[in-house]
Chains A and B, each alone.
Chain A
Amino acid sequence: MVVMSGAEALVKALEKQGVKVIFGIPGGAILDIFDALAGSSIRTILTRHEQCAAHAADGYARASGQVGVCMATSGPGATNLVTGIATAYMDSSPVVAFTGQVPRRLIGRDAFQEADIIGITCPITKHNFMVERASDMLLIVEKAFHIASSGRPGPVLVDIPKDVQIESTDVMNVEGGPKTTFHQPNYSPHPLQVKRAAQLLASAEKPMIIAGGGVIASNASQELLAVAELLMAPVATTLMGKGAIPENHPLATGLLGMHGTVASNKLVQEADVVLAVGTRFSDRTTGKMDEFCPDAKIIHIDIDAAEIGKNIEADVPIVADAKKALQEIYKLLSTGIVKKERTAFLAKIKELKEQLEWKASCESGLKPPRLMAEIRQILPEDAIVTTEVGQNQMWAAIYLKVYKPRTFISSGGLGTMGFGFPAALGAKVAQPEVPVVDIAGDGSFIMTEQDLATSVKENIPVTVVVLNNSVLGMVAQWQRLFYNRRYFAVNLGRVPDFVKLAEAYGAQGFRVQNLKEFCSVFKKAIKSDVTTVIDVPISPEENVLPMVPPGKGLKWMIWG
């Protein structure tokens, strides 16, 4: 029997889980854990802000499909993680966050750097734990990783008082570990509902598939494509579902919703049967919910039963893992279905799609749709694109085609400005062989740019494309369209100088004046071994279109 400290037991437990990297910042209440990490093979990446540690862990998780881990001290360290945890929660990303806590005897006494992080994170985690005894460490870590990665993934927080980190526990207890059975969510679809779904789909005249983030989380892209091709059904994706189907596929119609493509928004409104997979029908996807898919029967597949009927009533509810459900549906369809000739339908899809592509290709100068098309041209297929939030995000979502799952990473649910850059760092750590590009706006990038220091010191080279319009672009767009051009608290000025900013951190910075210059700088940037910031001046008057005004149905799309 070997005796070790709670902190050492934690590190052992993390190694047992196969954790390779931790993003975090130490502080008084978590020093013992960092001290134990010093002797571990786990790579610890010191970020410059705890928010970035959480986003980086999230980016790591989304790019790899593995649990991302972040760590912070008590009090402000823990509260700085909150935005990152909430972001991961809204987008169902498996992250485990560890926080230091004041010693047990001081809890509740408003001790120095004490914050009730358990109370604070209750509504933004799948679950959270306080480790009350060092001997509980292994079991809690196992549970935390299981909860984060099973069923609908999501963040879990583990709060560890300082004296529990120091307390001794015997290693037999840690290594043997109690044999526990964890709650297993329902992964298999109900056969009757599968049958009903297959019957509906087989009889559909105008079927439509909506692919959400659940398709990516359950690695169901192949199965989705098989069903789509069998039915010859167009596939629209939500923001989280982007990458679920290769966007150069004839059946892929691109983003759906407030900034959905003409093809997706039109076809979904005309559909008679909608197969929605792994989507929670967020308001940004549906527009006004009462007017969503007025004539369609809806088949809704989700691993989280609470999502079914929450926003949109389902005619056929299927609580299951997306991959399994699609496999079962395919099995039934492939034996029974009479393949429908859909030449006219396919021609229509093509025509609707071309409207967008034409817009992107005919523009010259530094126009965002064109820039997105050029970026796609230059990037290899497996390159990872992250985005910030706002216009940059929507331009990327509409105009930058994604071919593979887990290569488009964006804060969808929470809409967290400042997410893209630290998420890019996390993604690059997960997939060091592929170029990682953050499509940013100037407003978002300055919210987390301090972690340029992390990227340089830790040698995590990414490319940041700053679409610089010197305003909070999406806010300005709303003020322009819905507030009579009354611009207020939105102008940022051309501050800072992003070239100098990048250089100040030891990264490289370039400012480009035209498309040709951009392309040549970008080509070099993605191969560079140091992080590159490209300042791309764009007009503050640009709107992201198409757009459905907030609170309206999808048919009220503004276009051009």
Chain B
Amino acid sequence: MGVKNITKEYLVSAVVEHRPGVLFRVSNLFRRRGFNIKSISVGPTEKRELARITITVSGDEKLVEQVVKQLRKLVEVVKVGVLDPKNTVTRELALVKVTAPDYKAKTDIINYAEIFKGRVVDVSHKTLTVEVTGDSDKIDAFINVVKPYGVKEIARTGITALLRGESQTA
């Protein structure tokens, strides 16, 4: 056993038929088998009839092997695989609404956003909304930095990922 029992996060990428009900089947499978979804992102692919679902699962190797095998059995799942983190580009997008009642707070937050290569996408008298993109750690770091100003709301997309280079993702 040994290595097989270590719990960590895995990135599972699945290409599925792009039609109503498929996401339900996938998430229902996770619920029924007791697999935990940490994050999930879904969107269209280069082919109109296909969509990509990227799921972060936490568990041991045996569990993630079951996740892949069970997903593969769904008729509408075209292909599925676990992504090797060393060879994968991962991105997440977050919208962070921060309290910024005065000029100083606004300037500070805009500066932080710049450092994180973020963008201010909305402004009001009392708030700024910043868009940050990157891997999840970077987004966590940005949120930490602006926390003292008061984070009112956060929306994160969950991780989406592709293999580097010419290799085909899952």
Contact = CB atoms under 8 A, between A and B. Distances in A.
B24 A122 contact: yes
Nearest to B29: A123
B25 A306 contact: no
A477 to B, nearest CB: 30
A305 interface: yes
B28 A306 contact: no
Contacts of B70: 306
A122 B30 CA distance: 12
The B interface, classified by DSSP as helix, strand, loop or mixed, is helix
A147 B66 CA distance: 21
A43 interface: no
Interface in B109-135: none
Contacts of A147: 75
Given A118-B21, A309-B62, A127 B28 contact: no
Interface in A162-198: 183
A314 to B, nearest CB: 12
A432 to B, nearest CB: 35
Contacts of A310: 66, 69
A122 B75 CA distance: 12
Interface of A: 118-119, 122-123, 126-127, 147, 183, 304-306, 309-310
Given A118-B21, A306-B70, A309-B65, A123 B75 contact: no
Contacts of B76: 127
A306 B66 contact: yes
Interface of B: 21, 24-25, 28-29, 32, 62, 65-66, 69-70, 72-76
Contacts of A183: 75
A118 B28 CA distance: 12
Contacts, number: 28
Contacts of A123: 28-29, 32
A281 to B, nearest CB: 14
B28 to A, nearest CB: 5
A304 B66 contact: no
Nearest to B31: A123
A196 to B, nearest CB: 20
B66 to A, nearest CB: 6
A306 B72 contact: yes
A126 B69 contact: no
Contacts of B65: 309
Nearest to A154: B73
B62 A127 contact: no
A183 B32 CA distance: 24
Contacts of B32: 123
B35 to A, nearest CB: 12
Given A122-B24, A122-B28, A123-B28, A306 B69 contact: yes
Contacts of A305: 69, 72
28 contacts: A118-B21, A119-B24, A122-B24, A122-B25, A122-B28, A123-B28, A123-B29, A123-B32, A126-B73, A126-B75, A127-B74, A127-B75, A127-B76, A147-B75, A183-B75, A304-B73, A305-B69, A305-B72, A306-B66, A306-B69, A306-B70, A306-B72, A306-B73, A309-B62, A309-B65, A309-B66, A310-B66, A310-B69
A118 B29 CA distance: 14
A506 to B, nearest CB: 43
Contacts of B62: 309
Contacts of A122: 24-25, 28
Nearest to B4: A313
B169 to A, nearest CB: 20
A148 B65 CA distance: 25
B104 to A, nearest CB: 52
A142 to B, nearest CB: 13
Given A122-B24, A309-B66, 11 more contacts: A118-B21, A119-B24, A122-B28, A123-B29, A123-B32, A127-B74, A127-B76, A305-B69, A306-B72, A309-B65, A310-B66
A232 B78 CA distance: 43
A147 B74 CA distance: 11
A394 to B, nearest CB: 28
Nearest to A305: B69
Contacts of A304: 73
Contacts of A126: 73, 75
Contacts of B29: 123
A208 B112 CA distance: 67
B138 to A, nearest CB: 36
Contacts of A118: 21
Contacts of A306: 66, 69-70, 72-73
B20 to A, nearest CB: 9
With most chain A CB atoms within 10 A of its CB, the pick from B24, B28, B62, B69 is B69
A306 B66 CA distance: 6
Contacts of B74: 127
A238 B140 CA distance: 52
Contacts of A309: 62, 65-66
Nearest to A182: B75
Contacts of B28: 122-123
A126 B76 CA distance: 11
Contacts of A127: 74-76
Contacts of B24: 119, 122
B111 to A, nearest CB: 49
A294 to B, nearest CB: 14
A55 B69 CA distance: 29
A123 B21 CA distance: 13
Closest A-B pairs by Cβ, 9 of them: A306-B69, A127-B75, A123-B32, A305-B69, A122-B28, A306-B70, A122-B25, A306-B73, A123-B28
A403 B57 CA distance: 47
B55 to A, nearest CB: 17
A321 B28 CA distance: 28
Nearest to A308: B69
A119 B27 CA distance: 12
Nearest to B25: A122
B33 to A, nearest CB: 9
Nearest to B76: A127
B36 to A, nearest CB: 17
Nearest to B62: A309
A358 to B, nearest CB: 42
A97 to B, nearest CB: 16
Nearest to A123: B32
A513 B111 CA distance: 94
A45 B12 CA distance: 47
With most chain A CB atoms within 10 A of its CB, the pick from B25, B28, B29, B74 is B25
A306 B29 CA distance: 13
With most chain B CB atoms within 10 A of its CB, the pick from A306, A309, A310 is A306
